[in-house]
């Protein structure tokens, strides 16, 4: 995702996300964001995040209690490249470990052997 912040555009990867196949919209967990990043403030015209004294808009009010996120989806390769600076130790298998709910290496091996996993590089496993 990319997001405009007080210090310019920031790119990164959302972690601990769930995939719901028939859901036509992306949902954002305010509870998880406040736990991982910091407070979220809901105001008349939108919702805002605060961290280290900086405040930026996360979403704009749509009505009926809904807010549209001010984030732009990015292609996975672009997002991974943007976040790799923050996570130098990550490998492909480690990222899949996270994406699949912290599955163990044995589980990843089984997925690769059965041909279910595409793009999982087990050779770079940590």
What is the tens place of the pLDDT at every residue in 37-74?
889 999 988 898 887 777 888 888 888 888 888 876 65
> What digits encode the pLDDT tens for the residues 3-34?
777 777 777 777 777 777 787 777 788 888 88
Alpha helices, DSSP H, located in 4-75: 30-36
Alpha carbon distance 83, 114 (integer Å): 30
Which tops the pLDDT comparison, 25 or 76? 25
In this predicted structure, what is the pLDDT of residue 97? 72
Global confidence as pTM: 0.49
């Amino acid at each position: 995702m990319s997001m405009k912040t007080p210090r310019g555009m920031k790119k990164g990867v959302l972690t601990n996300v769930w995939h719901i196949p028939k859901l036509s919209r992306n949902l954002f967990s305010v509870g998880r964001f406040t736990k991982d990043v910091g407070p979220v403030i809901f105001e008349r015209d939108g919702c805002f995040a605060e961290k280290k004294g900086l405040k930026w808009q996360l979403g704009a009010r749509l009505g009926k209690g809904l807010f549209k996120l001010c984030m732009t989806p990015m292609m996975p390769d672009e997002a991974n490249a943007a976040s790799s600076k923050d996570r130098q130790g990550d490998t492909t298998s480690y990222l899949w470990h996270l994406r699949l709910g912290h599955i163990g290496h044995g589980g990843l091996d089984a997925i690769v052997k059965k041909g279910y996993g595409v793009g999982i590089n087990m050779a770079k496993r940590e």
